[in-house]
């Protein structure tokens, strides 16, 4: 059996998404059917549309979804119909990394999130009986309904603005987790954040929560630098106006910062994020510029106790980290809603373009 839904389908790289009526399979034993209320647009979605991250087509994207559970499989016990949930990445729940509370490094992460099909090779979506790839990061939530794995859903309190919560599942978790879970700076240690999209601004807010001082925000976009200052940065640097960005950061924090976040992924930016580190110091890179992205680093600089680490999904366990972010939001300490602009479902392509161009920090498509 299946049900009729409306989804935004990518049928050709570089082409607009088309709203189509599709068939969605009924939940299997470990599935959760979610009526989508809102879904964030992530740069990973943009990369697939642009062909920088080629996936099998046609496909339904969207992986920062939030909504209401409508049905659950026979083996699901963590949620029930009527629960408000955020949908995040999928993971197996049983490998060494999942059991260690680090599901972002699940042994089956790639096949469960990027293949466009389930583990058995099937897809829950079809158009006129013809398969449509889905299961994108365990959900494919650019749709009225998403069929998610039980490991993908995180129950949240119903009083939060549900349509805005989806970005907690990926971009905001990535930036905040890079600081709080990986870099873990001590109070009054310096931090620098390169790139002030949703990920970078989440890192700025997390650095403020960690008590970092100074917090240097680096981005050529003046509006984003201004927002970073409002959200906790102590200094903002325009790399386009500086002859030497590293020297500018070191003038702000003599000796260098204890930690840095690269939320861009370009080689020259990663080099700057490394050069501003004190000895010892650690840089977390979370920016994405395609599957193959060779960068050149100064090995001699690293030898003095400096490190570069790649971070996926903030190295977070969403079951505990998403509620933690919501607690901080409720206290007024993590105002992620200031990054969001909403678009109705029929303007999903405008939301994708706003993300691609940088016109909006975090577009969210409201589906209900």
Concatenating the DSSP letter of every residue in 27-73 gives P-TTEEEEEEEEEE--HHHHHHHHTSS---SSEE---SEEEEEEEE-
The hierarchical CATH code for the domain 2-169+335-366 is 3.90.180.10
Q: State the pTM of this model.
A: 0.95
107 and 94 Cβ atoms separated by less than 8 Å:
no
CA pair distance 116, 118, nearest whole angstrom: 7
- At residue 54 the predicted structure's pLDDT band, cuts being 50, 70 and 90, is confident
CA pair distance 349, 41, nearest whole angstrom: 10
Q: Please give the torsion angle defined by the CA atoms of residues 324, 327, 328 and 329, in that order, rounded to the nearest 10 degrees.
A: 120
**Residue 259 pLDDT > 90, yes or no?**
yes
CA pair distance 254, 259, nearest whole angstrom: 14
CA pair distance 36, 56, nearest whole angstrom: 23
Which residues sit opposite 256 in a β-bridge? none
Q: What is the pLDDT of residue 264?
A: 96
CA pair distance 291, 180, nearest whole angstrom: 26
**Residue 166 pLDDT > 90, yes or no?**
yes
Considering the chain, what is the average pLDDT of its residues? 96
Nearest to 319 by CA among 175, 168, 142: 168
- The boundaries of every CATH 3.90.180.10 domain in the chain are 2-169+335-366
| 181-220 residue pLDDT tens | 999 999 999 999 999 999 999 999 999 999 999 999 999 9
Q: What is the pLDDT of residue 1?
A: 66
What tokens does 148 get?
A: 């998610």
**Residue 288 pLDDT > 90, yes or no?**
no
What tokens does 182 get?
A: 């990986």
Section 2-9 average pLDDT: 95
- The boundaries of every CATH 3.40.50.720 domain in the chain are 172-312
| 225-255 residue pLDDT tens | 999 999 999 999 999 999 999 999 999 999 9
Per CATH, the architecture of 172-312 is what? 3-Layer(aba) Sandwich (3.40)
Which stretch of DSSP H or E encloses residue 157? none
**Residue 290 pLDDT > 80, yes or no?**
no
Cis peptide before 116 (omega within 30 of 0): no
43 and 34 Cβ atoms separated by less than 8 Å:
no
Residue by residue, DSSP assigns 105-154 as G-TTHHHHHTSSS-TTS--SEEETTEEEB--GGGT--SBSEEEEETTTEE
42 and 170 Cβ atoms separated by less than 8 Å:
yes
| 95-134 residue pLDDT tens | 999 999 999 999 999 999 999 988 788 899 999 989 999 9
Task: Kindly list the distances between the CA atom of residue 220 and the CA atoms of 117, 206, 295, 333, in Å, as whole numbers in the listed order.
Answer: 39, 21, 21, 26
**Residue 356 pLDDT > 70, yes or no?**
yes
């Amino acid at each position: 059996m299946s049900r009729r839904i409306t989804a935004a389908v990518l049928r050709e790289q570089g082409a607009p998404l088309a709203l189509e009526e599709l068939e969605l399979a009924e939940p299997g034993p470990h599935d959760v059917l979610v009526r989508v209320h809102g879904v964030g647009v992530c740069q990973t979605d943009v990369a697939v549309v642009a062909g920088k991250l080629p996936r099998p087509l046609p496909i339904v994207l969207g992986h920062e979804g939030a909504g209401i559970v409508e049905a659950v499989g026979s083996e699901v016990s963590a949620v029930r119909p009527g629960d408000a949930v955020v949908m995040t990445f999928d993971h197996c729940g049983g490998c060494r990394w999942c059991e260690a509370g680090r599901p972002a490094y699940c042994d089956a992460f790639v096949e469960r999130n990027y293949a466009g099909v389930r583990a058995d090779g099937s897809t829950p979506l079809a158009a006129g009986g013809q398969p449509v790839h889905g299961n994108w990061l365990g959900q494919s939530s650019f749709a009225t309904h998403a069929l998610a794995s039980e490991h993908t859903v995180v129950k949240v309190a119903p009083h939060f603005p549900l349509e805005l919560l989806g970005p907690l599942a990926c971009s905001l978790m990535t930036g905040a987790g890079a600081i709080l879970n990986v870099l873990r700076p001590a109070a009054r240690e310096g931090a620098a954040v390169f790139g002030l999209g949703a990920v970078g601004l989440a890192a700025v807010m997390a650095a403020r929560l960690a008590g970092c001082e100074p917090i240097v925000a680096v981005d050529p976009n003046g509006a984003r630098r201004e927002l970073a200052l409002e959200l906790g940065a102590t200094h903002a640097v325009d790399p386009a106006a500086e002859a030497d960005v590293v020297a500018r950061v070191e003038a702000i924090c003599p000796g260098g910062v204890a930690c840095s976040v690269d939320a861009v992924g370009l080689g020259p930016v990663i080099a700057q994020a490394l050069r501003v580190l004190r000895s010892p110091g650690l840089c977390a890179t979370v920016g994405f510029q395609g599957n193959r992205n060779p960068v050149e680093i100064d090995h001699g600089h690293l030898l003095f106790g400096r490190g570069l680490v790649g971070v996926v999904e903030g190295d977070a366990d969403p079951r505990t980290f998403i509620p933690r972010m919501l607690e901080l939001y409720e206290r007024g300490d993590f105002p992620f809603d200031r990054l969001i602009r909403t678009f109705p479902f029929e303007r999903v392509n405008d939301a994708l373009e706003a993300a691609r161009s940088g016109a909006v920090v975090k577009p969210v498509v409201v589906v209900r």
